[in-house]
Chains A and B, each alone.
Chain A
Amino acid sequence: MTEPMNQVEFRAALEQAIKGKSANKSPFSIAWASGKLTRAHLARWAENHYHYVGPFADYLAYVYARMPDTYTEAKDFLLSNMYEEEIGGDRHTDLLIRFAEACGTTRERVTNPDNMSPTTRGLQSWCYAVAMREDPIVAVAALVVGLESQVPSIYRRQTPTLRETYGFTDEEVEFFDLHIVSDEIHGERGYQIVLEHARTVEMQQRCLKICEIGAQMRLLYTNALYRDYVEAELPSAVLERAA
């Protein structure tokens, strides 16, 4: 390929890079959406998820610091994304902890890094590494397009089940509700930034590759949740019959 893709082609390629490895396909997501998880399983999810999404503003802060000062729109987006995660309304991690407590675990267990699995630690480390080491536009492609933009579609599937099948209250699942709106904004603006600034063949290919890796990392994390906490009680054969 000698010419860079136009924005329509590049967008389609980014979506394709993510699609093949969507976390919606993991057995943990399938078990969740089909109402097969217990509250104890969901508590383990929350204890892990906190360590993946909790430092999200930290990841973005590294990207912000390295984003060229002439990319004003991109910098403003990162700053508002950080603000919304932490102090725009309720702190997002507080809402995650509220859900975790409804699942029967505690704030202390959730915030204790000893309670995350090695795979979650790997995902967190990958996010930090990308934020600190990659070109900032490539990092936006990884963290925002590759990871954050997947969230609305995942939570749109999972949230009704939390209310209707698992019996959680509206307040208990607020963490999921808010991400359907905020991550749709963040994901789409992430796309806009990457489409605007990745204008060479080399940059576009790097963005595509890292989106693919980001989606793989999230799928790896979600698969590990199933393997580490669910599989013994809900073997995949049982899950396949239920799906």
Chain B
Amino acid sequence: MPTVVFHKQGQVHTGDVAANTNLVVRAGIRQFPFPHLAYGCGMGKCGKCACRVLRGSEHLPPPNWKERQRLAERIEDGYRLACQIWVTHDIELAQSGPVPPVRRIPMPQRETGGQGDVCHSDEQAGAVPDRSG
């Protein structure tokens, strides 16, 4: 069961999801990462679900044509569209606000099991704040 670590507005939310999960589908049915994950059309057009992948990108397939079209050079910075990816392994993502840089950082310790949502501040979780400007 993959663990998803989700950074948003200085907070870190952690939850387990079933293998082969689409996080926009999860948020759409009101499960973690709801209500933290912003999303819109669910069809790779609006870009509202864009997230920077901090860890676990090696387990994702290459960006598809919609991601290439919508994200362009931001793909090089580690961005993906959450609506276009199916999570099969542990992954760490950041969305909007102060985005941590793409670098290997330790996975924050989870405090509970199951599919609950565990929240920390980025500082508590040991994440490195974005200094890229």
A positions within 8 Å CB-CB of B: 84, 88-90, 170-171, 174, 177-178, 181-182, 184-185, 188-189, 192
Contact = CB atoms under 8 A, between A and B. Distances in A.
B51 to A, nearest CB: 15
17 contacts: A84-B41, A88-B40, A88-B41, A88-B43, A89-B41, A89-B43, A89-B45, A89-B46, A170-B64, A170-B66, A178-B43, A178-B44, A181-B22, A181-B43, A185-B42, A189-B30, A192-B29
Interface in B18-56: 22, 24-25, 28-30, 40-46
Contacts of B91: none
B41 A189 contact: no
Interface residues of B, number: 17
Interface of B: 22, 24-25, 28-30, 40-46, 64-66, 83
A181 B42 contact: yes
A182 B42 contact: yes
Nearest to A184: B25
A185 B45 contact: no
| Main SS class of interface, A | helix
Contacts of A192: 29-30
Contacts of A174: 43
Contacts of A184: 22, 25, 28
Given A88-B40, A170-B64, A181 B46 contact: no
B43 A182 contact: yes
A174 B64 CA distance: 12
Chain B contact surface mostly: loop
Nearest to B25: A184
A90 B45 CA distance: 8
Nearest to B22: A181
Contacts of A90: 43, 45
Contacts of A178: 42-44
A171 B83 CA distance: 17
A15 B28 CA distance: 20
Given A185-B25, A188-B29, A170 B65 contact: yes
Contacts of A171: 65
Contacts of B45: 89-90
A174 B25 CA distance: 17
B68 to A, nearest CB: 10
Contacts of B28: 184-185, 188-189
Contacts of A89: 40-43, 45-46
A56 to B, nearest CB: 15
A181 B24 contact: yes
Nearest to A190: B29
A181 B64 contact: no
B29 A185 contact: yes
Contacts of B22: 181, 184
Contacts of B40: 88-89
